[in-house]
Amino acid sequence: MSLLFSSGIALLNTYFVPFLQDVLGLKASFTGLTMLLLGLAGTLATRSGGGAADRLGPPAVIVRGLAAMALALALMPLAASVFSSAAGGLSSGIAVAAAWMLAYSVAIPAIQTYFVRIAPESANIVLGLNTSLLHLGVAIGSLTGGLLADASSTVRYHPWAGLAFALLSLSAGLVSFAKGGVRKNRQNAAAAASKS
């Protein structure tokens, strides 16, 4: 899940400034401020994602975050095309990009919490492995984005390539959650059987 998640993020994040400028038409003079505001919003979303994971449980936050991330990635190239007037395309594109950034930021602490809860006795090892997979995903996503940019001479469709990774990550998460539920039911049944 983490490898695919970070691949989908890095695929677009690595080329986000060209996407903002070349696809959405953001002026270079506003790029720094836009990135700062999006980054601050992402920081707040990460904080709220941790609280949401505590209240709702990590799987619920991960599924919602990845689903919202996938939806935003699906809409992002369309936001500039459908609303082709300069202001409409730019503002809708920035809004969808912000939704993407917020969605993945909310999911990050939930993913970490999920892995710690799976193996609390091995939390250091699990988090270390997860961090390694996140970094490998950044490399894979960046490489994929570079190959896509070379092949197509545009970054317009990078969100759709990121969407593929997001959907694969969501699928991996759903499989993991289902297996975790089965494992927990078996443990509960074994505990109940040992008491009787």
d(CA 151, CA 134) in angstroms, rounded, equals: 25
Share of the chain above pLDDT 70, in %: 86
Lowest mean pLDDT among 74-78, 135-139, 157-161: 74-78
Domains and CATH numbers, the chain: 2-170 (1.20.1250.20)
Residue 20 contacts by C-beta under 8 Å, 6 or more apart in sequence? Answer: 26, 31, 34, 93, 94, 97
Give the pLDDT confidence of 84-96 residue by residue, as tens digits.
555 555 678 888 9
Lowest mean pLDDT among 61-65, 117-121, 135-139, 189-193: 189-193
Whole-prediction pTM: 0.85
